[in-house]
Amino acid sequence: MLSWFKHKNYPFFWVEYLKKFKTSQPNTIENTRFVVFDTETTGLETSTDRLLSIGAISIFNNVIDVSDSFEVYLKQDEFKSETVEIHGILKDGNLLKLSEAEALEQFINYLGNAVLVAHHTAFDIEMINVALKRLNFPNLKNKSIDTGMLYKKLDGKKDTHFSLDILCNEFNIPKHDRHTSSGDAFITAIAFLKIVSKLKQERSVHYSDLFRTSNKKGLI
């Protein structure tokens, strides 16, 4: 009852967002729109730190589409000077910045029902969900894939933690714009294509395999 009541009061963009999950969802890698994204934040504490930027790019039918990309910078009162040297976003820089509400609305519109892909997805999704909560929205409804987990499914890669830098080295991906959200999203997208391609070489890969987190669950 309560959820129905809430539902009624959601702004138009969120209603549209929910609608996109009502129809049947694609079930092959080729038919799925993946949105590879990354966030830059004031720190690593999801409850207190804030989003500074979101960058994303889509993949459809194994092709990264630059025209379907997303890049936004957020106005935040919360600011930590010590992390500036990582992400390079100044409190009052020249970049056009949006409020958190505007930025999230645009991101939700861009995202739609795509499958989210990120390197260590849990953190980035949690940052978005916490921000949504501040604005009284529920969590994201999208399925998600972690390239870090996916990488572990390759032969002989189990049981280690892989940073994006390790992936870049392994796959010869140039580290341009590392630690900008768009740059990292682009790098992650290339890594995603390469991992999926390598997985396909090792065995037949079904759509559902991408979401499993361990080798032991059916992927033999």
Partner 1 sequence: MKNTIAERIFDFLKNFPPFDVLEKEQLFQIASQVKVTYIEKGNFIFKQEENPHLHFYIVKDGAIGLYRTMGNDQILVDICDEGDVFGLRPLIQNDHYLMSAKANEESILYAVSVDLLKEIIKINNKVQKFIIASFSSNIKTPYAKTNNGQLFANVETLETIDSNFSEVRTAEFSKNPITCSKNATIKEAAQIMSSKKVGSILIAENKIPLGIITDKDLRLKIATGLVSINENISKIMSSPVITFPKEITIAEAQIAMIKYKVTHLCITANGKPTSELVGILSEHDIVVLHGNNPSVLIKEIKRAKDTEKLKYIKEKASNLLKGYIEQSIPIIFISKIISEINDAITIKALDLSLEEMETQPPVKFGWLALGSQGRKEQLLTTDQDNALVFEDVSKENYKTTKDYFLLLAKKVTNKLHIIGFEYCPADMMASNPNWCLSLTEWKAQFNNWITKPSEDSIMLCTIFFDYNLIYGDKKLTSEMANSIFNSIHTYEIFLNFLGRNALLNPPPLGFFRQFLVEHDGEHKDQFDLKSRALMPLIDAARLLTLSLDIKDKNNTIARFSKLVKMEPQNADLYLSCIDAFKILLRYRTKQGIKHHDSGRYIELDKLNKSEKLKLKGCFKPIKDIQELLNVRYNLSQMM
Determine the 3-state secondary structure of 135 from DSSP. Answer: coil
208 binds partner 1 (CB under 8 A): no
Supply the angle between the helices 100-111 and 12-19 in degrees, to the nearest 10: 30
76 binds partner 1 (CB under 8 A): no
114 binds partner 1 (CB under 8 A): no
Helix (H) or strand (E) segment spanning residue 107: helix 100-111
Residue 186: name the closest of 53, 62, 38, 72 by CA. Answer: 38
57 binds partner 1 (CB under 8 A): yes
Whole-angstrom distance, CA of residue 179 vs CA of residue 160? 22
2 binds partner 1 (CB under 8 A): no
Query: How many residues bind to partner 1 according to rule CB under 8 A?
Result: 29
CB of 74 to partner 1, least distance (A): 13
CB of 14 to partner 1, least distance (A): 22
71 binds partner 1 (CB under 8 A): yes
Residue 44: name the closest of 145, 127, 138, 166 by CA. Answer: 127
66 binds partner 1 (CB under 8 A): yes
Determine the 3-state secondary structure of 13 from DSSP. Answer: helix
CB of 22 to partner 1, least distance (A): 30
197 binds partner 1 (CB under 8 A): yes
CB of 214 to partner 1, least distance (A): 25
Classify residue 110 as exposed, middle or buried by CB count within 10 Å of its CB (0-12, 13-18, 19+).
Answer: middle
* Residue span binding partner 1 (CB under 8 A) among the ranges 10-18, 126-134, 178-186, 205-213: 178-186
Number of Cα atoms under 13 Å in the Cβ half of residue 200 = 10
Distance of CA 122 to the CA centre of its chain: 9
- Footprint of partner 1 (CB under 8 A): 55, 57, 62-67, 69, 71-73, 95-96, 172, 174, 176-177, 180, 182-183, 185-186, 189-190, 193-194, 197, 201
